């Protein structure tokens, strides 16, 4: 089965399971309140980190350097804000992990080392070719 389809179906099921478990422990209204509180504070902190990333990117541009980390970090912060807006405890947890700079750097390091190892194992296609002179009557 397609991995994306499993993720699309699995995440809401897991979130509903967490809602039921947490709701049975602290009550339904407290669970709903907790969801709204985590979303609110998460978005406020994502905005703060977004402005810090923008400021850092501008300083990189002033130094005439390409702000690669800041661009990737900004995209990650936008994704984290989306996760925080979605109701659920697991998505909030992942969103908060992405928002905090130390864990974001750790995630980037893991992904970049995985990409470097993949880039080192490039596949090449061998084939034959023939130079065709302009004088030849053959057409491509």
Report domain extents, the chain. 9-108
At 136 the pLDDT is 55
* Mean predicted confidence (pLDDT) in 69-73: 86
For residue range 72-86, list pLDDT tens digits in order.
888 888 898 889 888
Is it the case that residue 31 has pLDDT exceeding 70?
A: yes
- Helices 101-120 and 89-99 meet at what angle, rounded to 10? 80
Whole-model pTM above 0.95?
A: no
Lowest mean pLDDT among 10-14, 72-76, 114-118, 128-132: 114-118
Is it the case that residue 97 has pLDDT exceeding 70?
A: yes
**96 Cβ contact partners less than 8 Å away, ≥ 6 residues apart:** 38, 42, 80, 84
């Amino acid at each position: 089965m397609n991995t994306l389809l499993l993720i699309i179906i699995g995440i809401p099921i897991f979130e509903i399971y967490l809602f039921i478990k947490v709701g049975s422990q602290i009550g339904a209204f407290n669970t709903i309140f907790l969801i709204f509180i985590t979303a609110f504070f998460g978005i406020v902190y994502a905005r703060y980190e977004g402005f810090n990333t923008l400021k850092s990117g501008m300083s990189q541009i002033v130094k005439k350097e390409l702000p690669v980390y800041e661009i990737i970090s900004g995209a990650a912060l936008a994704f984290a804000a989306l996760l925080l807006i979605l109701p659920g405890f697991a998505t909030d947890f992942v969103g908060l992990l992405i928002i905090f700079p130390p864990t974001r750097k750790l995630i980037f390091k893991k992904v970049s080392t995985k990409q470097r190892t993949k880039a080192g194992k490039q596949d090449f296609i061998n084939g034959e070719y023939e130079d065709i002179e302009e004088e030849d009557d053959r057409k491509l």
